[in-house]
Amino acid sequence: MTDPFDIRRAVASDAAALAAFATRLFRATYSDDTAAADLDLYIAKAFTPDMQAAEIADPSGAVFVATTGGTLAGYAQLVVPASQPGTAVLSRIYIDADWRGRGLAKNLLDTVVAECAARGVQHLQLTVYEKNARAIAFYTKVGFVVTGSTTFTVGDDVQKDVVMELDLSVGQRP
């Protein structure tokens, strides 16, 4: 059976629900490896309704939401830095636990890739926590390759991230 997902560009009225959704999934994803106080510090800065509204409105990026029955099931955020023409960053992709393993992450990524094509982006980059094995497996499955490592700070916790990149110029992906 096909799950009835609607994937669309986020709008201003999504900001509050998206902030709550992003907070819940961020906490659930990283709470095994990150202290609650560090998660709280990050969440307080990154996932306020005002911050989500600003990201939704920012023309140098795009936020996409996936809903089912009017409820959020996932979201993805693309950032296209003006300083790096042809390169964009998949800064977030999160699927609620009930909907993982059903192809929704790939569908959201396809939407992001279509946005990249519309903006002339040829390289899609991301960073992912080195202990996030499921996300790394997903990215590898859809064609990202590891290009390096970096750090990502959650509160006061400096964590090691893997840098991955998807070459969109080749025109074919798994």
Ligand X SMILES: CC(C)(COP(=O)(O)OP(=O)(O)OC[C@H]1O[C@@H](n2cnc3c(N)ncnc32)[C@H](O)[C@@H]1OP(=O)(O)O)[C@@H](O)C(=O)NCCC(=O)NCCS
Residues of this chain that bind ligand X (CB under 6 A): 25, 29, 93-95, 100-101, 105, 128, 132-135, 137-138, 141
User: What minimum distance in Å lies between the beta carbon of 138 and ligand X?
Assistant: 4
Q: Between 93 and 166, whose beta carbon lies closer to ligand X?
A: 93
- Strands 87-95 and 123-129, bridge-based pairing: parallel
User: What minimum distance in Å lies between the beta carbon of 90 and ligand X?
Assistant: 8
Q: Between 81 and 101, whose beta carbon lies closer to ligand X?
A: 101
Q: Which of 105, 113, 163 is nearest to 134 (CA)?
A: 105
Q: Between 90 and 168, whose beta carbon lies closer to ligand X?
A: 90
In whole angstroms, give the CA distance from residue 134 to residue 146: 15
Which tokens hold the place of 34? 């990150």
User: What minimum distance in Å lies between the beta carbon of 105 and ligand X?
Assistant: 3
Q: How many CA atoms lie within 13 A of 68 on its CB side?
A: 11
Q: Between 16 and 136, whose beta carbon lies closer to ligand X?
A: 136
In whole angstroms, give the CA distance from residue 62 to residue 9: 7
User: What minimum distance in Å lies between the beta carbon of 22 and ligand X?
Assistant: 10
Q: Please check whether residue 75 is in contact with residue 9, taking contact to mean a CB–CB distance below 8 angstroms.
A: no
User: What minimum distance in Å lies between the beta carbon of 17 and ligand X?
Assistant: 17
Q: Which of 122, 140, 124 is nearest to 89 (CA)?
A: 124
Q: Between 15 and 22, whose beta carbon lies closer to ligand X?
A: 22
